[in-house]
Structure 1
């Protein structure tokens, strides 16, 4: 009996070892996507969250123009669909917080939505003609060489296809990083066109984090090209030197959201993060400039 147990244990160990070796032989780092190739490499990047939500009415053309004017490297934005399915740039599923209206974005036609004041919460900008832009309007206004992060907020195949269609129509597949909190959205994008760059969703980050803690990130093949994570998730710190190093080892771009405190920015930059996603791109530009070699 003892001999049988010993042999069984040896078989299990051998099988586990074989699987470990097989993973190591087949695992591949993230591919080098054009989105990252022309970005500055001698410093971290400033990613204007919703265009800089603490400086201007968020997710508006005014915010995107302002962020670029003060030196942001990348514009981040969110997309929902109107009643007709038109991709529009707004974060919440309702218009209540950021406009003069109330109700779900999906309940408005495009015409009705753009009659709302997207600067209603800003007294100095109220009734100055600032509207919720369509993603098409953003693509038309912002030069193609400016990198964008476009977050699809709905798990909606039709909306995902509409966003993908616009990226291809405007030939922005090399300068647009597509993201979502919904794994099915990312799967749809990756299956549709290999030219799309995507970030990892939570279900993909967790196994990679576990592998990094075991110094085994070399066994993980990233399905996307970027890690965009908060500084911590509950009690678990994410923006650690170990996780940043693991991401670099797998050719993953590592950025942290949403960081608005200059001291925290400096701590993260010292750990080697490659991007700061912030509502205060003005403060981030200063922090990155000070930290640059």
Structure 2
């Protein structure tokens, strides 16, 4: 049955990419998480989507221009007085080991190439023994090819904004075991053909009930959603069908 990945955690109800959002996603029954990684000035992998701090945190400027200590001083729960730190990838992986969740780590290296990011992330995944529960994705496909070469045991999946012709052929050519397309760009028959050719399909960001039902109906590998609680509720109705 289609797996449900919580986009930046349970981001419909909690501050995105925070431990609260991740804990809540597990609590409501998500199968996996999707999170984003940037590097601090001193090379620490931290979990935040934007290259700049301004939208989601009390900080300003680029993540890459701040030390890890500075990054930890900002509030990642900008809309609330309740302070939450920006998580380190180490912190998330330590917790992930205590769960059964799968985790999609998106490398945010399309704008800034973050030298050493792949080695840093792979090293942490291996340190915590999570290679079989991690998927590394990026819009920077050169980066995920590098990841495959460094650690072929960790699944990789290119991210796409546009439709791509015969995506399973492309995936096989870069040794990726999955694709993460924008959900509106792939018709049912392309999703099905991709899966039939041994490539997992996990579209993003699926928040409308009609889109979720469409993907459940074709037994899509997984989808990525801001509202895992609603997705789980709909999925349970499908599981009860004879």
Same fold (TM over 0.5): yes
| Deviations 1:79-135, CA, capped at 9 Å, x for gaps | 0000101100000001101111111001111111111111112x3xx2x33110100
Q: Does 1:283 align with 2:230?
A: yes
Deviation above 3 Å: which 4+ runs of structure 1? 201-205
Cα RMSD (Å): 2.2
Distance 1:107 1:221, change over 3 A: closer
Identify the match of residue 76 of structure 1 among 34, 47, 71: 34
Identify the match of residue 180 of structure 2 among 225, 228, 234: 228
Which segment drifts farther, 79-88 or 248-257?
248-257
Which segment drifts farther, 137-146 or 167-176?
137-146
Normalization by structure 2: what TM-score?
0.90
Q: Does 1:192 align with 2:150?
A: yes
Structure 2 match to 1:142: 96
| Deviations 1:158-193, CA, capped at 9 Å, x for gaps | 111111111111111111001111012111101112
Which segment drifts farther, 138-147 or 186-195?
138-147
Structure 2 match to 1:163: 121
Structure 1 residue 156: Cα displacement: 2.7
Structure 2 match to 1:206: 164
Q: Which has the higher helix share?
A: 1
Normalization by structure 1: what TM-score?
0.75
Which segment drifts farther, 105-114 or 151-160?
151-160
Distance 1:264 1:206, change over 3 A: closer
Structure 2 match to 1:153: 108
Q: How does 1:90-101 map to 2 (within 5 A)?
A: 90-101=48-59
Distance 1:97 1:151, change over 3 A: same
Report the number of matched residues: 236
Give the distance between the partners of 1:179 and 1:264, measured in 2 at CA.
Answer: 22
Q: Which has the larger radius of gyration?
A: 1
Structure 1: state its 5+ residue gaps: 1-42
Does the Cα contact within 8 Å between 2:162 and 2:182 map onto a contact in 1? no
Identify the match of residue 264 of structure 1 among 208, 211, 224: 211
Distance 1:164 1:204, change over 3 A: farther
Does the Cα contact within 8 Å between 1:45 and 1:288 map onto a contact in 2? no
Structure 2: state its 5+ residue gaps: none
Does the Cα contact within 8 Å between 2:12 and 2:226 map onto a contact in 1? yes
Structure 1 residue 222: Cα displacement: 6.2
Distance 1:73 1:260, change over 3 A: same
Give the distance between the partners of 2:162 and 2:173, measured in 1 at CA.
Answer: 10
Partner SS, residue 199 of structure 1: strand
Does the Cα contact within 8 Å between 2:15 and 2:21 map onto a contact in 1? yes
